């Protein structure tokens, strides 16, 4: 009887934001009874072959030094980097991205992203939710994908690689829960601290660990006990009309046990199976290895992988934050220098890793079915600031750039335009809503699809699809 009360208690507190890793550990009967199956309910039903790797340049990449250079501007605007030609005539990018320059026919660049909030945590939530004024319980893009296009394989639908870190991080409910969609659509978080990433030789995925002292055999015994506890007769005897309830819980529980005990998910997360030259091509740094892991996960059937684009520490540096792209001149590091918070360090590594991902997806025949997104929460000021301990560029949401590739996106496309200083949108502005609607469209999800609990009040996105990208 005590065990039965525990099962009911999990049902009552289901919406409390516990981590998915805690649930996956399944160290108690309640979690194996109701909590874990319900969390994994995202992986049933649904269809559609598209997946997405969403690379998050946390802090905000300078558009003037990457995708939208202004070489004819004054020195306090243009910076030191020169534009270089790409594989697409007339399209240029910054000199720190030579590998991506060669692949320009595989991706599109939006140069007219815009909103009006220069504050990290709010802007982060806006990007994640695809809304200019997101509610506190607004689900992230990944949570919506998990809801509408869940994985049909024995892998999670939504995975997040590398936790945000630093004072400017968004609130955890913005990305580690499913918002009003529920914890069933929260991501499986891999990378809870700055040392927890696959470039670290000591890395392992702890989410498949059971609680201390709970073997898989013992877990199986608990599963069989619950088969009896949650039988239709048990539900009937307790006053719960539950033939369907028992059947669905049993289905989800079997899937949960398969994830814990089976080989498919474990193999997908085992980056050591990749050949050393492949790992070298992506770069032996957090972003490179996380993107390689993301490719493995998508190949295994994961629908949405978020990757925080932290490029790691330069030699001799101590960890401060994963806010790689927030380049004010933090910690005395010049924006154009080679420290962890400088473009000279971070952008070549991003170029290395993202170009490797695009080439790998193309070679494996996966690019047509995999949407790749590279974007931050905003851009950087046109004018270089010199008031701190080092020069930098400050927050600038009025005009910035994003890269999208795969899933039907027309490569070699440049959409929108900025003014002479990349300060304001000159042509075809793209709001957070429009950006989200476009990503949903690429994944074969009609933006108008209703996702609210009542089924009709809230669409997946209220934005306009940028059809010129397809």
pLDDT digits (tens, 9 = 90+) for 399-425: 999 999 999 999 999 999 999 999 999
Please give the Cα distance from 180 to 147 (Å, whole number): 11
* pLDDT at residue 455 is higher than 60: yes
- Residue found under tokens 């969403």: 54
Given the DSSP bridges, would you call strands 400-405 and 395-396 parallel, antiparallel or unpaired?
unpaired
Where residue 34 falls among pLDDT bands split at 50, 70, 90?
very low
Where residue 259 falls among pLDDT bands split at 50, 70, 90?
low
- Of 289 and 75, which is predicted with more confidence? 289
CA dist 356 → 137, 282, 296, 360, 433 (Å): 36, 5, 13, 6, 29
Where residue 452 falls among pLDDT bands split at 50, 70, 90?
confident
What is the set of domains in the chain, with CATH numbers?
Answer: 1-43+212-276 (no CATH), 52-199+283-469 (3.40.720)
H helix intervals, 324-408: 343-363
In 302-399, where do the E strands start and end?
304-308, 370-375, 379-380, 395-396
Average pLDDT on 57-79 reads 96
The per-residue pLDDT for 81 is: 97
At residue 426, φ and ψ (nearest 5 deg) are -95, -35
Average pLDDT on 52-79 reads 96
* Strand, helix or coil for residue 189: strand
The per-residue pLDDT for 465 is: 98
Q: What is the pTM of this model?
A: 0.83
* pLDDT at residue 434 is higher than 90: yes
The per-residue pLDDT for 213 is: 53
The model's pLDDT over 140-196, given as tens digits with 9 standing for 90+, comes to 999 999 999 999 898 999 999 999 998 788 889 999 999 999 998 999 999 999 999
The model's pLDDT over 188-247, given as tens digits with 9 standing for 90+, comes to 999 999 999 999 999 988 877 655 555 545 545 544 554 554 454 544 444 444 453 444
Average pLDDT on 425-453 reads 96
Percentage, residues of the chain above pLDDT 70 = 77
- Of 230 and 58, which is predicted with more confidence? 58
CA dist 438 → 68, 82, 279, 426 (Å): 21, 31, 31, 20
* Residues 76 and 87 sit within 8 Å (Cβ to Cβ): no
* Residues 218 and 275 sit within 8 Å (Cβ to Cβ): no
Average pLDDT on 372-376 reads 98
Please give the Cα distance from 382 to 106 (Å, whole number): 28
Average pLDDT on 98-121 reads 98
Please give the Cα distance from 94 to 112 (Å, whole number): 17
The per-residue pLDDT for 221 is: 54
Helix (H) or strand (E) holding 108: strand 107-113
Residue-averaged pLDDT of the chain: 84
In 250-368, where do the E strands start and end?
304-308
């Amino acid at each position: 009887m005590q065990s039965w009360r525990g099962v009911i208690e999990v049902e009552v507190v289901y919406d409390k934001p516990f981590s998915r890793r805690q649930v996956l550990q399944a160290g108690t009967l309640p979690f194996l009874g109701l909590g874990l199956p319900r969390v994994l309910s995202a992986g049933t039903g649904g269809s559609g072959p598209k997946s997405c790797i969403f690379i998050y340049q946390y802090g905000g990449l300078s558009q003037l030094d990457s995708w939208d250079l202004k070489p004819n501007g004054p020195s306090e605007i243009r910076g030191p980097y020169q534009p270089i030609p790409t594989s697409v005539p007339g399209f240029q990018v910054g000199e720190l991205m030579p590998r991506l320059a060669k692949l320009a026919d595989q991706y599109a660049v939006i140069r007219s992203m815009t909103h009006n909030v220069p504050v990290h945590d709010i802007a982060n939530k806006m990007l994640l939710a695809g809304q200019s004024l997101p509610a506190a319980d607004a689900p992230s893009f990944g949570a919506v994908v998990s809801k509408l296009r869940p994985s049909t394989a024995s892998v999670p639908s939504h995975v997040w690689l590398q936790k945000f870190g630093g004072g400017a991080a968004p609130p955890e409910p913005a990305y580690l829960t499913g918002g009003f969609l529920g914890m069933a659509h929260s991501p499986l978080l891999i990378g809870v601290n700055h040392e927890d990433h696959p470039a670290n030789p000591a890395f392992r995925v702890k989410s498949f660990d059971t609680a201390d002292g709970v073997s898989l055999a013992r877990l199986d015994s608990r599963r069989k006990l619950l088969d009896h506890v949650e039988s239709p007769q048990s539900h009937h005897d307790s006053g719960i009309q539950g033939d369907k309830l028992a059947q669905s819980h049993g289905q989800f529980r079997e899937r949960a046990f398969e994830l814990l005990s089976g080989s498919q998910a474990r193999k997908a997360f085992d980056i050591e199976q990749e050949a050393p030259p492949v790992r070298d091509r992506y770069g032996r740094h957090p972003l490179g290895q996380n993107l390689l892991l993301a490719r493995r996960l998508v190949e295994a059937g994961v629908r949405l992988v978020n990757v925080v684009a932290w490029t790691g520490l330069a030699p001799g540096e101590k960890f401060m934050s994963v806010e790689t792209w927030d380049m004010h001149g933090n910690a005395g590091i010049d924006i154009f220098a080679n420290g962890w918070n400088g473009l000279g360090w971070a952008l070549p590594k991003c170029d290395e890793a993202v170009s490797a991902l695009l080439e790998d997806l193309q070679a494996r025949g996966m690019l047509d079915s995999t949407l790749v997104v590279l974007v931050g929460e905003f851009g950087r000021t046109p004018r270089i600031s010199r008031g701190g301990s080092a020069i930098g560029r400050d927050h600038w949401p009025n005009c910035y750039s994003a890269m999208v590739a795969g899933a039907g996106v027309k490569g070699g496309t440049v959409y929108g335009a900025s003014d002479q200083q990349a300060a304001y949108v000159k042509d075809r502005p793209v709001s957070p809503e429009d950006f989200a609607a476009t990503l949903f469209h690429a994944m074969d999800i009609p933006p108008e699809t209703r996702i609210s609990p009542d089924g009709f009040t809230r669409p997946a996105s209220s934005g306009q699809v940028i059809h010129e990208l397809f």
